[in-house]
Amino acid sequence: MSISKLAQNLKGSEIIKIAGEINELKKAGQNIANLTIGDFDSNIYPIPGELKSEIIDAYNHNQTNYPPADGVLDLRQTVSGFLKENFNLDYASNEILISGGSRPLIYATYLALVDPGDKVVYPAPSWNNNHYCDLTSADGVAVPTHPHNNFMPTAAELSEYIKGATLLALCSPLNPTGTMFSKENLEEICDLVIEENKSRKEGEKPLYLLYDQIYSQLTFGDHQHYNPVSLRPELRDYTVFIDGASKCFAATGVRVGWGFGPAHIIDNMKAIIGHMGAWAPKAEQVATSHFLKNSPAVQNYLAEFKQRIQQSLEALYKGIKHLKAQGFPVDAIEPMGAIYLTVKIDLKGKVTPDGKVLRSPSDINFYLIQEAKGALVPFSAFGTDEDLAWFRTSVGACSYEEIESLIPRIGEAIKKLS
Ligand SMILES: Cc1ncc(COP(=O)(O)O)c(C=O)c1O
């Protein structure tokens, strides 16, 4: 039976395929260190206790009818204060939109700004921009990035693709790499966008910037988060920010996201989200507002949460670097933010004990799942070339101990190859 071309052409998720393999092995009683999902095991990383109590309290106060289409006013006001306090950004409540997690906001940004056939530029690897381009019939241009720049895009790399584009989609700290823009790097990209917009004619659609900073509170050490509007205030008219509670409060299932930008764009996104009914549940909105106002609770939670995530990332990073020092064909990039570590495991052309040649990152990954009992995600799942031997590892669903014990197993698995 025929279905729409859009539905026929949507690509399945590579991560779901890997999850299928892991589940099969788990059913067979095996323990797999699952570094594949950009989520948390909520028994290892529960949401803040205060947020949980506020959610229960909101249900006890019958906050269960439709929320306003742009989100509960009290939450939008609280987010406005949160943006001022954390980023010194001035956004009024009518420039802020709440939705059921951040995904609907990204989709609504695409739908509000991009017409079919419009050019959308994004770095590869990055998270889901290829899918949002497919959903909006955009002409997606994936710009390859490189390990020597921590897989973050540079102005020089983007410049040849930006001419005539409608949207530049950026994210920092970046999913899947766990790396971030430096101030200079982001400033140069901002200047590129400003120059491009100066070259556009009156009435021509400008180049917009989608800036996803959902991991902005999860940064480590000296690494500081920057945003385009603080660096270049004239970009305020062209920038839509994506943010929310999912990642920084381990609250992926709570489903409260916020986007902010120029009021006329936010207004259109509100209509789109309204038609999809993609609002955040009202009780969760009320609770998130109360929680965000409780600064000591927010700060205490973040301090402990960040410390634990960083500890896991560092263990993985040091473990991989230790294997590298022993001569194994592996490498990793210093963790800077989010819950990810970028890892290279270059076993292409190696032969397994049962005679199978590992031809692709996907083969390497399935070999590691079987032999090292650890699962990663090849960067190709994030829009890069199929043969890049770099992987995303995500530490949110594994304990520190599981991660520590995985490293020697990777070494042993590699030793078995010829
Ligand atoms: C960069 C980035 N933006 C947005 C999202 C979506 O977040 P949410 O769960 O709030 O929809 C994710 C989730 O993985 C992400 O990694």
Residue 151: exposed, middle, or buried by beta-carbon count in 10 A (0-12, 13-18, 19+)?
buried
CA distance 105 to 102: 5
CA distance 390 to 386: 10
Q: Specify whether 100 is located in the same domain as 13.
A: no
Q: Specify whether 129 is located in the same domain as 238.
A: yes
Q: For residue 40, is it within any domain? A: no
Residue 270 sits in which domain range?
Answer: 49-294
CA distance 170 to 227: 10
CA distance 415 to 326: 11
Final residue belonging to a domain, choices 279, 294, 309: 294
E strands within 145-225? Answer: 167-171, 208-212
Of 16, 98, 40, the C-alpha closest to 252 is: 40
Q: Specify whether 246 is located in the same domain as 357.
A: no
Q: Per residue in 259-287, pLDDT tens? A: 999 999 999 999 999 999 999 999 999 99
pLDDT at 21: 83
- Measured from the Cα of 38, ligand 1's closest atom is 14
Ligand 1 pocket by C-beta < 6 Å: which residues?
A: 38, 101-103, 127, 171, 175, 212, 214, 244, 246, 252, 257
Q: Specify whether 82 is located in the same domain as 227.
A: yes
Q: For residue 100, is it within any domain? A: yes
Q: Specify whether 175 is located in the same domain as 125.
A: yes
Q: For residue 54, is it within any domain? A: yes
Q: Specify whether 260 is located in the same domain as 377.
A: no
pLDDT at 109: 98
pLDDT at 173: 98
Q: Specify whether 173 is located in the same domain as 109.
A: yes
CA distance 137 to 131: 10
pLDDT at 22: 87
Total structural domains in the chain? Answer: 2
Q: Specify whether 212 is located in the same domain as 98.
A: yes
pLDDT at 16: 79
CATH of the domain at 315: 3.90.1150.10
CA distance 303 to 220: 11
Dist. CA 352 → ligand 1 center (Å): 36
Q: For residue 39, is it within any domain? A: no
Final residue belonging to a domain, choices 277, 294, 311: 294
Which parts of the chain register pLDDT below 50? none
Q: For residue 348, is it within any domain? A: yes
Final residue belonging to a domain, choices 268, 294, 320: 294
Q: Specify whether 171 is located in the same domain as 317.
A: no
| Residue count of the chain | 418
Q: Specify whether 240 is located in the same domain as 154.
A: yes
Dist. CA 103 → ligand 1 center (Å): 6
- Name the residue of 102, 240, 273 whose CB sits within 8 Å of the most ligand 1 atoms, as the mutation to test its pocket: 102
- Measured from the Cα of 104, ligand 1's closest atom is 11
Q: Specify whether 81 is located in the same domain as 55.
A: yes
Q: For residue 43, is it within any domain? A: no
Say how far residue 98 (Cα) sits from the centre of its chain.
18
Q: For residue 36, is it within any domain? A: no
Of 92, 112, 82, 75, the C-alpha closest to 279 is: 75
CATH of the domain at 125: 3.40.640.10
Q: For residue 138, is it within any domain? A: yes
Q: Specify whether 322 is located in the same domain as 284.
A: no
Q: Per residue in 55-107, pLDDT tens? A: 999 999 999 999 999 999 999 999 999 999 999 999 999 999 999 999 999 99
